[in-house]
Chains A and B, each alone.
Chain A
Amino acid sequence: MTYDLTFAKDVYQKAEMGHWIKMCMQCGVCAGSCPLRAHWQHSPRQLFQMVRAGKRDEVLKSSDMWMCTSCYNCIVRCPRELPITHIIHGLARYAETQGAADPKQPTRRFAVDVFWKNITATGRVGEAMLTMRLYFQDGIGAGIQRGLEMRDSALGMLKTRRLNPIPFRGKIKGYDGFTKMLAKAAELEQKLENKA
């Protein structure tokens, strides 16, 4: 176990809303608020204490942040008014940019490799393509299996005109500018982190 004294400082400066962690009084209200809490190895309260204790690897390699459903229970309950949802998202993103997140963590994989790619490819969500990429990320066999499990639902969606039978969607008109805008935003974000 390594204790990394620069870790807390990095999180305060580089992770979204990370500086708020200083304000946590360890009351544990947030820990009882996560819908999937049975699957968090460390609650938000514990993660914040681990940041302060310099447990870089334990925090960044953890699956915990990726269990957040964005339910905002914690935010409205925290007596110190920490924006916990965003701190947890910030830690997940920081783990991702540091290359520490497990590439196979299911929510990381869905959010980064499937969802973000899907929306930036055209400017909008293509639900049919999103579903296909999600199902086929583990190969054809696994994809067909998952497709079969959901076959009745997919047919129901098609029949009620709530799923586009054509999986490819066109780009938004301003796609060129949209892409340049995102590239510039990404560049500024990096500068922000390096400056910090």
Chain B
Amino acid sequence: MKEYTFFPGCSSEHNASAANMENSIQSMCRILGIKLNEIDDWNCCSASIGYAGGGQLPRMALSARNFALAQKQKGNADLVATCAACWLAMRETNERIETEPHIKADLNTALAEAGLSYDGHIKTRHMVEVLIEDFGWDALKAKVTKPLTGLKVAGYVGCQTNRPFGVCGDSYENPQYLDQMIEATGATAVPFPMKVACCGGALMFSETEKSCVLTKQILQSAVDNGAEVIITPCPVCQLNLEVYQGMINKTLGTNFNIPILYYSQLFVLSWGGSWQDAALHQQVIPAEPLRRFA
């Protein structure tokens, strides 16, 4: 049993938009023997748009409070995030705390108002790093009991697990890890030139029409390359690609109906988990191409 401190983030809460990611990741961890110890009373990290309302210190205080709670409750165990945006915001904050003494001092002055303190030293990791580094490809493949043979999948990496930090030293322009995950389940990774193109991120909310054009190009590229489903490690990507398909079809004259899944859902299904375990009942666009493996 491997244990980690866990930061789920707002989108993974019960009845929140990434509940399918959260539920499938919990199943994945059960199968692998991972125990995720959730930080009690965590707060939102403000993702990549906290700068506008929060500036530097208030924005970073959000993540600092989560680190402080983690340290107090669980010591310096590695902190695992499942959301790309949370992982990035926390890593950035931790890096500045550890390299800029005045930032660390100011954040601790702010934390003291909440009766907390944080002295650095907690490593923030994305769940995909845990899978690759702490388990490894052979262990992930060894779990497969129901290979997804013949399933054609486009691996959409997006931006924030990829840049600026990257996953396990992978390339920024053509990362391989998600394709390797697809192949590890027995499925086929289709060529996907738009795998690191941006979907618009949080600007989908404020600049919907402009962002829909970006998302359309990503969906088109996947479909043109024969993908039956798209998988992603990022809940913002997942939401943008799935939930806006209807609007894109209506406004841009397309006819998309392609399921958008998480890597964790493929793993759980190929490892013998049920439809329910993989949270495949929580897709707005039903995961029909996976029915033949259920």
Contacts and interface: CB of A to CB of B under 8 A. Distances in A.
A182 B205 CA distance: 25
- Identify whether the interface residues of A are mostly helix, strand, loop, or mixed: helix
B109 A89 contact: no
B35 interface: no
Contact of A162 (B18, B164, B246): B18
A140 interface: no
Interface in B11-41: 11, 13-20, 41
Interface string A14-31: 001000000000000000
A86 B282 CA distance: 35
Interface string A50-76: 000000000000000001011111011
A83 to B, nearest CB: 8
Instruction: Give the interface residue-count category, chain A.
Output: 35 or more
Interface string B108-149: 011111111000000000000000000000000000000000
A177 B114 contact: yes
B154 to A, nearest CB: 18
Interface string B90-114: 0000000000000000110111111
A123 B62 CA distance: 9
B49 A111 contact: yes
A186 B163 CA distance: 29
Of B19, B52, B116, most buried by chain A (CB within 10 Å of CB) is: B52
B261 to A, nearest CB: 13
Nearest to A176: B114
Nearest to A112: B53
A173 to B, nearest CB: 5
A35 B159 CA distance: 11
A130 B106 CA distance: 30
Nearest to A89: B51
15 contacts: A35-B214, A69-B198, A71-B201, A72-B162, A76-B163, A110-B206, A111-B52, A150-B247, A156-B284, A177-B113, A181-B114, A181-B116, A186-B58, A188-B106, A189-B55
Given A162-B284, A182-B58, 7 more contacts: A36-B211, A36-B214, A67-B207, A70-B48, A107-B206, A152-B246, A162-B15
